[in-house]
Amino acid sequence: MKTLLLLILTVWLNIESSSGTLSSSCSYAPSKWCSSLDSAIQCGVLKQCLEANFTRSHQKEDRIEVGLYYESLCPGCRGFFTEMLFPTWILLQEIMTVNLVPYGNAQEKPDGQKYKYECQHGETECLGNMIETCLMNMTDYSGLIIFCMESSPDVIKSAQSCLEIYDPKLTWDSVMSCVKGDQGNQLMHQNALETGALKPPHQYVPWITINGEHTEDLQNKAMSSLFTLVCGMYKGTKPEACGGAKRHYKSYCHNE
């Protein structure tokens, strides 16, 4: 039955969207076009989504997990995230997952039933760490929002506008409620525990792990070319970006 439905949908799309034009009724961001059948149809990209899902379903190897232990205002962290990690993540999302842990060299101190934090670059960095932590718990667009923040001249001042661009349905008030409340405090505590459990213990940030492992060799390779490292380590069928077989279907917006 599923095979028949897939065939019907594919034939339907070949007829309905042969022009490759994005539907004007699409209300989803590009990263969510393939999140459901409804979104794919509404946005006129069902054929692309079917092909992408077919490719993912045939990937038998585990994805490469890249862990980044960082601080929101650390210059080296910002440079690595915006210039190396995020572009690689976009290109290799089929074979790569990312675990972001904003904490780094912060210090945690018990304060009754909660915790207080001192950050390497001051209270503003603690705020940035907390905003990004809450975003990761509240929206599927957190990677895009954090990239927007970290690539801007002012990480904190850009946070609200970045949120409004990538997830306008999530209110800034709800994010700040998390930041100032028990939820954010507990989420940051988990970041502290995860960072403190690193083996070997982190000595600096950005601190990079690959599939949960950190060595100086992996760190240096990731800092030099994370793209090359992930492509080389992935054991399954290489995606086109890594030099694998080209996909058969391409979508273009033709001149009419």
Q: What is the 3-state secondary structure (H, E, C) of 57-86?
A: HCCCCCCEEEEEEECCCCHHHHHHHHHHHH
**Per-residue confidence (pLDDT) for residue 46, from 0 to 100:** 81
Rounded distance, CA 45 to CA 253, Å? Answer: 12
**Per-residue confidence (pLDDT) for residue 126, from 0 to 100:** 98
**Per-residue confidence (pLDDT) for residue 245, from 0 to 100:** 81
148-164 residue pLDDT tens: 999 999 999 999 999 99
Amino acid identity at 75: P
Rounded distance, CA 107 to CA 36, Å? Answer: 42
**Per-residue confidence (pLDDT) for residue 53, from 0 to 100:** 64
**CA–CA distance from 235 to each of 26, 45, 192, 226 (Å)?**
36, 29, 32, 16
So what's the architecture of 64-233 in CATH?
A: 3-Layer(aba) Sandwich (3.40)
What are 133's two structure tokens?
């932590």
State the span(s) of the chain assigned CATH 3.40.30.10. Answer: 64-233
**Per-residue confidence (pLDDT) for residue 109, from 0 to 100:** 97
CA 189 to chain centre: 21
**Per-residue confidence (pLDDT) for residue 147, from 0 to 100:** 98
Rounded distance, CA 61 to CA 97, Å? Answer: 13
Could you tell me which of 186, 77, 189 has the C-alpha nearest to residue 125? 77
Rounded distance, CA 175 to CA 177, Å? Answer: 5
**Per-residue confidence (pLDDT) for residue 40, from 0 to 100:** 83
**Per-residue confidence (pLDDT) for residue 247, from 0 to 100:** 65
Q: Could you tell me what percentage of the chain is helix, strand and coil, using 3-state DSSP and rounding each to the nearest 5?
A: 50, 10, 40
Query: What residues of the chain score a pLDDT lower than 50?
Result: 2-20
